[in-house]
């Protein structure tokens, strides 16, 4: 009863993708273990009732790029969900960048984006054209880098990607690149506006991740019809068809290692107020819990790698707060069509991060505003989500108190932050405040409680230039039959997790020979749907 072909730790998008491919293509009996009481990781939803009705929110998916028909990303999503997730394209503009004295509207298509930038900043025209050329060079480098990760460490020429074509551009910070190539501070700010999608300001983030994100959204954004829960709902039956299971309230405590080989996992199962220890066994194990948790918590002390401290001490990425808002009426009343708003009170993105600890005092510097109900044609009620970055240390004193019962001081601070975020948004979207029926704030402690992620960070090992120099990044571990997938493997975000799951599942099933099998299968399946 406790034996499987593959055990996957975590039911986020990378874990579900791996499970789907291993189940339907390679006919494996897969067990997915989830510590939360819902399957889906950052692709699940939650519900609350307000005075005007019931509201549903996604906890992590706000928009996805490269979902146009025929794209490899769309093909993979269609395959792992058996074509049961439909995608609605967002309107143009899809992103609106709001600054103190001007607003930039990002329209889908590189030519439109380039033309609009040159129109606003004509003196920077040569540098703008060069910027888009550099993005392509950097993305080609990233493709070669990611392919190198599919090779086993012993076969990987680690130093080659550090000196290959495009490496100098890819491994400089966004700030270094912008300062070297542009003069106008407003233009620099606009080009870096989407840094929230990878959770690092310009002085810390690599051009490698910047180029990937800009290119990912350059043709516009998409949203899953019915919300992100459709992803897990579509994949779960696929896993069960080959005898697999998805178990919630199962927190992995240790990976069982015997003679240097991973053979199972030890979990704590929550049943009411009781906690029961259980063991599960499998030929292969995939951890999507991240490098810090996997190497420093899951692996027994005897088998910890010599780089465990390096993983543990690698600087964490940024945490956030999210205000989930239920609206009495459609936000179309405000002139919104479904686009996202990135609202900043400064052009200095690094300054926002340096002062983010003051958020606890109600000092808001920026807010990302999303309107899920306008993106989803199946939405039954109107909603908004307001996100701001926050320092984990500001909330650390309440970390060991129970969820939903952290005390009056904590609740008071949450209320202060919520009110400040609403007022900040109201200044730029007049009338927003009057539409609110219900609101609830999540903090970095909420993220840490449900995911176990270090300090509530949703971005895993941050995409600083140093990340790409770490030899422990990738799907292989030093333990035989133990693999990694997720944000600390191939890439960030929903699509990063999707592709990470696809690549890791291929390697688990067939090694390098599995890569063309998986991608060919996905592309051929997608063609049958068109």
Residues 118 and 210 in one domain: yes
Residues 131 and 196 in one domain: yes
Query: What letter does residue 156 receive in the DSSP assignment?
Result: -
Residues 110 and 13 in one domain: no
Residue 299 has pLDDT above 90, yes or no: yes
Q: Residue 423: inside a domain, yes or no?
A: yes
Q: Residue 69: inside a domain, yes or no?
A: no
The residue among 152, 185, 220 that closes a domain is 220
What is the C-alpha separation between 335 and 141, in angstroms, rounded? 41
Non-local (6+) Cβ contacts of 488 within 8 A are 290, 291, 460, 461, 473
Segment 41-68 mean pLDDT: 89
Q: Residue 66: inside a domain, yes or no?
A: no
Segment 507-530 mean pLDDT: 95
Does an H or E element contain 265, and which? strand 261-271
Q: Residue 343: inside a domain, yes or no?
A: yes
Look up tokens 């491919």; give the residue.
Answer: 21
Residues 436 and 327 in one domain: yes
Does an H or E element contain 46, and which? strand 45-50
The residue among 454, 476, 506 that closes a domain is 454
Segment 257-273 mean pLDDT: 93
Please give the pLDDT value at position 153: 83
The residue among 220, 246, 269 that closes a domain is 220
What is the C-alpha separation between 174 and 464, in angstroms, rounded? 10
Q: Residue 437: inside a domain, yes or no?
A: yes
Segment 81-91 mean pLDDT: 96
What is the C-alpha separation between 76 and 64, in angstroms, rounded? 13
Q: Residue 84: inside a domain, yes or no?
A: no
Residue 1 has pLDDT above 80, yes or no: no
User: Are 278 and 269 a contacting pair, CB within 8 Å?
Assistant: yes
Please give the model's pTM, rounded to 2 decimal places.
0.95
What is the C-alpha separation between 216 and 66, in angstroms, rounded? 6
Residues 422 and 523 in one domain: no
Please give the pLDDT value at position 230: 93
What is the arrangement of strands in the sheet containing 340-344, beginning at the earlier edge strand? 103-106, 95-98, 340-344, 366-370, 382-390, 319-327, 436-442
Please give the pLDDT value at position 271: 83
How large a percentage of the chain has pLDDT more than 70? Answer: 100
What is the C-alpha separation between 100 and 83, in angstroms, rounded? 43
What is the C-alpha separation between 173 and 180, in angstroms, rounded? 11
Residues 411 and 343 in one domain: yes
pLDDT tens, position by position, 180-222: 999 999 999 999 999 999 999 999 999 999 999 999 999 999 9
Q: How buried is residue 340: exposed, middle or buried, by Cβ count under 10 Å (0-12/13-18/19+)?
A: buried
Helix (H, G, I), strand (E, B) or coil at 57: strand
**The domain spanning residue 231 has which CATH number?**
3.50.50.60
Residues 170 and 267 in one domain: no
What is the C-alpha separation between 500 and 238, in angstroms, rounded? 19
Residues 468 and 426 in one domain: no
Please give the pLDDT value at position 160: 75
As for how many domains the chain has, the answer is 3
Residues 122 and 95 in one domain: yes
pLDDT tens, position by position, 340-377: 999 999 999 999 999 999 999 999 999 999 999 999 99
Residues 288 and 360 in one domain: no
- Residue 211 main-chain phi, psi, to 5 deg: -65, -40
Residues 310 and 326 in one domain: no
Please give the pLDDT value at position 159: 72
Residues 246 and 325 in one domain: no
pLDDT tens, position by position, 492-508: 888 999 999 999 999 99
Residue 158 has pLDDT above 80, yes or no: no
Q: Residue 49: inside a domain, yes or no?
A: no
Strands 95-98 and 482-484: unpaired
Segment 405-420 mean pLDDT: 95
What range does the domain containing 287 cover?
3-42+226-314+461-529
């Amino acid at each position: 009863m406790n034996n499987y072909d593959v055990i996957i730790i975590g039911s986020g998008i990378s874990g579900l993708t791996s499970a789907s491919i291993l189940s339907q293509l390679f006919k494996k009996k897969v067990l997915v273990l989830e510590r939360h009481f819902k399957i889906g990781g950052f692709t699940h939803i939650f519900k609350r009732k307000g005075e005007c009705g019931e509201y549903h929110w996604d906890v992590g998916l706000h928009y996805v790029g490269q979902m146009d028909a025929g794209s490899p990303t769309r093909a993979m999503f269609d395959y792992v969900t058996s074509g049961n997730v439909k995608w609605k394209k967002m309107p143009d503009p899809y992103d609106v960048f709001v600054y103190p004295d001007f607003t930039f509207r990002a329209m889908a298509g590189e030519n439109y984006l380039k033309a609009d930038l040159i129109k606003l900043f004509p003196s920077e025209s040569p540098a703008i054209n060069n910027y888009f050329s550099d993005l392509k060079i950097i993305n080609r480098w990233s493709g070669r880098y990611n392919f190198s990760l599919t090779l086993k460490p012993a076969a990987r020429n680690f130093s080659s990607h550090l000196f290959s074509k495009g490496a100098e551009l890819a491994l400089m910070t966004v700030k270094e690149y912008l300062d070297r190539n542009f003069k106008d501070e407003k233009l620099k700010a606009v080009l870096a506006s989407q840094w929230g999608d990878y959770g690092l300001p310009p002085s810390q983030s690599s051009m490698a991740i910047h180029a990937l994100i800009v290119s990912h959204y350059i043709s516009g954004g998409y949203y899953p019809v019915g919300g992100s829960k459709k992803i897990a709902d579509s994949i779960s039956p696929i896993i069960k068809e080959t005898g697999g299971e998805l178990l919630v309230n199962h927190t992995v405590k240790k990976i069982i290692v015997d003679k240097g080989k991973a053979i199972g996992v030890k979990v704590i199962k929550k049943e009411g107020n009781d906690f029961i220890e259980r063991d599960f066994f499998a030929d292969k194990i995939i951890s999507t819990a991240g490098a810090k948790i996997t190497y420093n918590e899951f692996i027994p002390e005897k088998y910890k790698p010599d780089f465990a401290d390096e993983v543990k001490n690698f600087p964490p990425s940024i945490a956030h707060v999210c205000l989930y808002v239920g609206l009495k009426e459609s936000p179309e009343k405000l002139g919104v069509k479904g686009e996202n708003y990135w609202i900043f009170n400064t052009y200095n993105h690094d300054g926002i991060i340096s002062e983010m600890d003051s958020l606890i005092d109600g000092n808001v510097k920026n807010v990302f505003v999303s309107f899920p109900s306008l993106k989803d044609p199946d939405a039954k009620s109107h909603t908004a989500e307001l996100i701001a970055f926050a320092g984990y240390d500001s909330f650390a004193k309440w970390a060991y108190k129970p969820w939903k019962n952290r005390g009056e001081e904590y609740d008071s601070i949450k209320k202060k932050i919520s009110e400040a975020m609403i007022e900040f948004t109201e200044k730029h979207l007049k009338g927003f405040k009057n539409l609110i029926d219900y609101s609830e704030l999540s903090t970095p402690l909420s993220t840490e409680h449900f995911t176990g992620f270090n300090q509530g960070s949703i971005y895993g090992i941050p995409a600083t230039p140093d990340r790409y120099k770490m030899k422990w990044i990738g799907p292989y571990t030093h333990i035989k039959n133990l693999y990694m997938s997720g944000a600390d493997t191939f890439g960030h975000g929903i699509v990063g997790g999707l592709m990470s799951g696809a690549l890791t599942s291929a390697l688990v099933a067939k090694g390098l020979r599995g890569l063309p099998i998986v991608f060919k299968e996905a592309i051929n399946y997608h063609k049958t749907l068109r």
